Amino acid sequence: MAEQEQDAYVRFADIRKSYDGETLVVKNLNLDIERGEFLTMLGPSGSGKTTCLMMLAGFETATHGEIYLDGTPINHVAPHKRDIGMVFQNYALFPHMTVAENLMFPLKVRGISSTEAKSKAEKVLDMVGLDGFSNRRPAQLSGGQQQRVAVARALVFEPKLVLMDEPLGALDKQLREQMQFEIKHIHENLGVTVVYVTHDQSEALTMSNRIAVFSEGVIQQLATPDELYEQPSNAFVAQFIGENNRLCGTITETDGDESVTVRTDTGAVVRALPVNVDGIGSKTTLSLRPERVVVEPEPGNFPNVFDAQVMELIYLGDHIRTRINIAGHDDFVIKIPNTHTATRNLKPGMQIKVGWHINDCRALDA
Ligand code: ADP
């Protein structure tokens, strides 16, 4: 633990923020970001992500607490002295300057000679795949190209930390996905620390080493992408990341840390993994990923087996998205791989059996 503390490159320590002196939009945030890490702040609009980024950049001040950069408290360090690169959704390139001039600007203000600035600008332009575009003005570039220049400008002075706030929000889906990989590769090649803000979960899963899931100014869970998806620690995270079936019920039996028995509101009895629950009699939300439900399970292998009725089938190539009615819930979704022999004969109205393992059904907060 002590070693980890020393390693933190960015540290938010007990950070609170209120704009109006009443409501806290960031509530006692504690977060350590490691050197070289790609950390994403993910959450719905208004959850406090941008406010955290702005405090780290120095454009907003914390109401309480301290932010450390490489061990140094920075609450009173001016933004331009923090040496942090920044990329925003709206590019913010200087329209009257050429691409090269835009890139040389942050170097000139740092007192770097024109010759050196020029060579650094060319190098970084090459890195974002825009060599040959030096003499264009921003208006002569597409949205994707402008955003590449914005990324290049954030990197050109070789900052150790780069902040990105929804940088791909204005781009169409295909370009956005391409840029996600490009930014990820630049991060890997340069070893720079990146703090990235997005409300798009697939973007966060694609790019990040770790993701901090925000809701109402509080980090709900901080984990790697696979951990977040496989082991959500509360109902908010389970619902926000990926698709999820929810069954509400009450705990009727417990078996230590191994399992709980839950009677759902429609009377089904389900065994689940206790993750974030109290004892017998308490309410819980069961969370179950659609791809973890098995159709026509082999008898004996599954502690949870239910009769279900097929309501709707949607062919999606690699899998069949199937809505079933199970114990009175008709919005239960399962994904059946297209290799499964059973999928070939499924029709709406058919009765089937489905099953799942205890560990795939997480008992979370109500
Ligand atoms: P996110 O980035 O997750 O969308 P923000 O940090 O932008 O969230 O906003 C968090 C909350 O703070 C929101 O309720 C928002 O309305 C409020 N807020 C953000 N910036 C300001 C500001 N400059 N003045 C007053 N309230 C603000």
Q: pLDDT-derived band of residue 80, with 50, 70 and 90 as boundaries?
A: confident
Can you tell me the distance from the alpha carbon of 162 to that of 194, in angstroms, rounded to the nearest whole number?
Answer: 5
What are 286's strand-pairing partners?
247, 363
Residue in 51, 60, 198, 199 to alter for ligand 1 test, most ligand atoms within 8 A of Cβ: 51
E strands, 129-217, in order: 161-165, 193-198, 210-215
Q: What is the pLDDT of residues 214-257, one digit of tens each?
A: 999 999 999 999 999 999 999 999 999 999 999 999 999 999 88
CA 17–ligand 1 middle distance (angstroms): 10
63 and 102 share one domain: yes
47 lines ligand 1 (CB under 6 A): yes
CATH of the domain at 254: 2.40.50.100
CA 79 to chain centre: 26
- Residue 189, amino acid: N
Within 10 A of 28 (CB to CB), how many other CB atoms are there?
15
Whether the CA torsion 214, 215, 219, 222 is positive or negative: it is negative
66-76 confidence digits (pLDDT tens): 999 999 999 99
In DSSP terms, 321 is beta-bridged to 314, 335
Q: What is the rounded CA–CA span in Å between residue 11 and residue 274?
A: 32
208 lines ligand 1 (CB under 6 A): no
Which of these three, 212, 235, 258, is where a domain ends?
235
Q: Is 49 in the pocket of ligand 1 (CB under 6 A)?
A: yes
Among 194, 213, 235, the domain boundary falls at 235
* 247 and 267, same domain (yes or no): yes
Residue with the smallest CA separation from ligand 1 atom 15 is 46
Residues 146 and 193 in one domain: yes
Helix (H, G, I), strand (E, B) or coil at 237: helix
Residue 118: name the closest of 94, 100, 130 by CA.
100
Place 184 in a pLDDT band, splitting at 50, 70 and 90: very high
CATH of the domain at 203: 3.40.50.300
* pLDDT value of position 343: 65
Total number of domains constituting the chain: 2
Domain extent, residue 360, equals 243-364
DSSP β-ladder status, 161-165 and 84-88: parallel
Indicate whether this model's pTM tops 0.85: yes
